[in-house]
Amino acid sequence: MGLYGKHGKMLILAFADSQTAERGGELEAAAAIEVLINPEAYTVEYQIKFSESGQGHGTSGKQLKYECTEPADMSFEFLFDSTGIIDDKPRVSVADDIKNFRKVLVDYQGDSHEPRHFKLAWGDTIFIGRVTAVSITYKLFNSDGTPIRATAKVTFKSSIEEEKRAAKEAKKSPDLTHVRKVKAGDTLPQLCFEIYGDPKYYLQVAGANELTNFRQLTPGMDLLFPPIAKTAPVS
């Protein structure tokens, strides 16, 4: 079996960490679930974080300042059915299927001390993330109340290694190392202001990048902005 299940069905692969999830396939997975039916649809949600900055010059109120774009959330709904109508394998209940599903996606793992990381493989679509929510709805029952059909809505948050995420978002903080790709019109003092909140660090950044002329930045070049310890102002 390749990167997806039989007949093109989605495969949910579980891994102990994000690095293994990025590189690994079914052979490296700690557990795997092949869905009964591929989802009819899925939802992708992006959250953009802003903070309120101080009152701008000539304005009468606070302004929203961009902080970062959160990793995407993807929500899928998976079907469980024990009637045998779909897979020609009638079973008494969906209870065992749900139990195994929850065990793989939700349960705490003793070896890594946290729930697993997942790779969702479906055709050419590959998504790596963590489960943030699982909601199970039971929809069909036998006469004695035994559930024989259910759906599980699962939300995954995209996993990005922290150092890659920091560089990608260029999140403002003097305590983190950032990488910025220079755009036309960028100046070193302006970039220092965006990252450190003060343009005066441009000489240190020029030195860290071995720039002979900090006034001439080439669009497309990568600049490293190292952590800079600030000295508290003298009262």
pLDDT of residue 23 exceeding 90, the answer is no
Nearest Cα neighbor of 220 from 191, 187, 181 is 181
Comparing 61-70, 71-80, 83-92, which segment has the lowest mean pLDDT? 61-70
Q: What is the pLDDT of residues 164-201, one digit of tens each?
A: 454 454 444 444 556 788 888 888 888 888 888 788 88
Where exactly are the structural domains of the chain? Answer: 6-160, 164-225
Asked if CATH classification 2.60.40 holds for the domain at 6-160, the reply, yes or no, is no
- Residue 234 has a pLDDT of 35
- Percent of the chain surpassing pLDDT 70: 79
Q: How would residue 232 be classed by pLDDT, with cut points 50, 70 and 90?
A: very low
Q: What is the pLDDT of residues 112-129, one digit of tens each?
A: 567 889 999 887 677 888
The Cα 192–Cα 143 span in angstroms is 69
Output DSSP code: residue 200: G
Q: What topology does CATH give the domain 164-225?
A: Membrane-bound Lytic Murein Transglycosylase D; Chain A (3.10.350)
CB neighbour burial string for 64-94, b if at least 16 within 10 angstroms, e if fewer: eeeebeebebbbbebbbbbeeeeeeeeeeeb
- Residue 235 has a pLDDT of 36
- Residue 111 has a pLDDT of 61
